Amino acid sequence: MNTPEELTFEDAMLQLENIVRELETGRTKLDDAVSAYTKAVELKKFCEQKLKEAQLKIEKIEVNDDKSLSVSPLDKIEE
């Protein structure tokens, strides 16, 4: 299995979903369940970091009164 750093966000999410699904069945041996849980924690942290990085990259492009362009963080959009 690849380390999280070698995966795309989507692949990491898929692996995480598969691990959760398998653990939910309750048919996994204890040692395997602990290993799977550890892997799931790694994947969760990786996905959270990727989302955080993506959020930091997203910006709102604004046209100023003088017709010049500027950018501001997306979370400052007024509704």
- Which regions in the chain score pLDDT beneath 50? 77, 79
Q: What is the pTM of this model?
A: 0.68
What pLDDT shows up at residue 29? Answer: 96
What pLDDT shows up at residue 50? Answer: 93
What pLDDT shows up at residue 79? Answer: 46
At 8, which amino acid appears? T
**Residue 28 CA to chain centroid, in angstroms?**
26
What pLDDT shows up at residue 14? Answer: 97
Torsion angle of the four alpha carbons 26, 20, 34, 9, in this order, in degrees rounded to the nearest 10: 170
What pLDDT shows up at residue 2? Answer: 60
- What does the alpha-carbon distance between residue 1 and residue 48 come to, in Å, rounded to a whole number? 20
